[in-house]
């Protein structure tokens, strides 16, 4: 089973700051890594697919990078509406797994 470890677990950020979340895989998963945003009491929403491809309708301040075992989600110029928990997800091999989540709070 591929274990995904996100860091940090929690981040408190001022609006307009840059947020960086990392996701490390326990084995090489190529670019089969996706990022989701989940706001309180809502279902997850796809942000970034295949490590770096933006999903339709996602604001351009969200970007992703990485391959192999190390991946990064960047939120440029954080907005208040970005308060959420962010999850990475690997679809490279069964069982599909998720990172533990990173909660982003707005200061």
Distance CA 86, CA 96 (A): 17
* 97 is a site residue for other proteins (CB under 8 A): yes
* 96 is a site residue for other proteins (CB under 8 A): yes
* 98 is a site residue for other proteins (CB under 8 A): yes
Q: Which of residues 46-65 bind other proteins (CB under 8 A)?
A: 46, 49-50, 55
CB 89 within 8 A of CB 45: no
Residue (of 45, 48, 78) closest to 65 by Cα position: 48
**Contacting residues toward other proteins, per CB under 8 A:** 32, 34, 36, 38, 42-46, 49-50, 55, 87, 89, 91-92, 94-101
């Amino acid at each position: 089973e591929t274990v995904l470890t996100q860091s940090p677990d929690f981040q408190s950020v001022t609006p307009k700051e840059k947020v960086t979340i990392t996701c490390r895989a326990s084995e090489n998963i190529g670019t089969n890594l996706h990022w989701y945003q989940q706001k309180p009491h809502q279902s997850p929403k796809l942000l970034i697919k295949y490590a770096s491809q933006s999903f339709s309708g996602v604001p351009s301040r969200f970007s992703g990078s990485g391959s192999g075992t190390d991946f990064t989600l960047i939120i440029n110029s954080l907005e208040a509406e970005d308060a959420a928990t962010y999850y990475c997800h690997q679809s490279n091999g069964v069982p599909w797994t998720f990172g533990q989540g990173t909660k982003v709070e707005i200061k």
